[in-house]
Amino acid sequence: MSFGPLISAEWLAEHLDDVRVVDVRWYLDGRSGRAAYDSGHLPGAVWLDVDADLSAPATVVDGRHPLPTPERFAAALARAGIAEGTPVVAYDDDGGSKAARLWWMLRVLGEPAAVLDGGLAAWDGPLTGDEPAYPPVPRPARPWPTDRFVSADDLLGDGRPLYDARTAERYAHGDPAVDPRPGHVPGAISAPWGENLGADGRFRPPAELRERFAAATNGAIAYCGSGVTACHDLLAMHLAGIENTALYTGSWSQWGADPSRPIETGAVTAR
């Protein structure tokens, strides 16, 4: 079975019994992802919470979506009945911007994972409000590979180009509703995650993505507001054939909250 990192809705409709579908809808404006799931989701899909399952509790020191402990992540997958080696298809209703977080977390552990290209809007089959009752499975905790994550202390000295996946406006000036300070990490390149997608809401062709991330000749690091949508940039780089990539998990919610760390502000001049 050919699988990932993107799959089409047509492929998924034919392979629902071969994969575990995971709904990871989450909203920055405070709407409930769980309520969205309950109102209608893909057949057989389980729901994982970006806050509780794909992250550790938020703190000022660590940011809004710190990486969960291996034990916390393994326990979430175990409760959802996702055994090691089970192909996972993640989806959301926002261009894959949240689904990519689960894709990245599974991929760095060597697990088969994909994102539904086009998300919920691409699915023209029926939706259901029924929650599947998959039995829990054993799931050992596996350590996060240290080479796929970068800490705040190591960020500026890493040497790889640094991409900011937030909107161009937040990169330049911040958003006081969610950003602790205006601006961005010094030297970061603006690469809003939404621009990885074409007009149809699906990922742009690899050649276009390679041009978009042209500075990443020897790999790259991505960050965003809290380490979620940055994974969309990392997925785009993967599609472009760019390796040696890493996530700055704390992202701006960590960096900007520390007044001792330098920042830059101003209009976007990068690609």
Q: Are 23 and 42 in contact (CB under 8 A)?
A: yes
Query: What's the rounded Cα separation, in Å, for the pair 235 and 238?
Result: 5
Note every long-range contact of 69-78, with CB atoms under 8 Å and residues 24 or more positions apart, other chains counting.
69/141, 70/141, 70/142, 70/143, 70/144, 71/141, 73/105, 73/141, 74/139, 74/140, 74/141, 74/142, 75/139, 76/48, 76/52, 77/139, 78/136, 78/137, 78/138, 78/139
Residues paired with 163 in a beta bridge: 189, 222
Cα-flanking dihedrals φ and ψ of residue 244, to 5°?
Answer: 60, 50
Q: Where are the beta strands (DSSP E) in the chain?
A: 6-7, 20-23, 46-47, 88-91, 113-116, 162-164, 189-190, 220-223, 245-247
Q: Are 252 and 188 in contact (CB under 8 A)?
A: no
Q: Are 223 and 185 in contact (CB under 8 A)?
A: yes
Query: Residue 119 corresponds to which tokens in the numbers above?
Result: 């998300």
Q: Supply the residues annotated as catalytic.
A: 224
Residues paired with 247 in a beta bridge: 149, 222
Query: What's the rounded Cα separation, in Å, for the pair 179 and 15?
Result: 40
